[in-house]
Amino acid sequence: MSSTSQKHKDFVAEPMGEKLVMALAGIGEVLGKRLEEKGFDKAYVVLGQFLVLKKDEELFRDWLKDTCGANVKQQGDCYGCLREWCDSFL
């Protein structure tokens, strides 16, 4: 990833707290609503799934595609955001 979005930079700059799922890079309103409908309403709930999948990029991308229909770019943005957050805070 040659550059990151402002949304990505904002997310990884501080603890997650109670941020909504749409605060994650790659997750906009449409995907956010799909995730919320399946119980993934907060960023930390998606982080939990990321950790259950042992931070494996391929597994997480597949899960995101199957769960909310994320495209390849959205999958990569969300994975990179969570990976970098984990590197900073875990």
- The ranges of the chain with pLDDT < 50 are 1-2
> Partners of 32 in the beta sheet?
none
Q: Are 44 and 90 in contact (CB under 8 A)?
A: no
Q: What is the mean pLDDT of the chain?
A: 96
DSSP track, 11-30: HHTS--TT-BGGGSTT--HH
Domain-by-domain residue ranges, the chain? 6-89
Angle between helices 72-89 and 43-52 (to 10 degrees): 90
Using alpha carbons, select from 63, 37, 34 the residue that is nearest to residue 48. Answer: 63
CATH number of 6-89: 1.10.150.40
pTM, entire model: 0.94
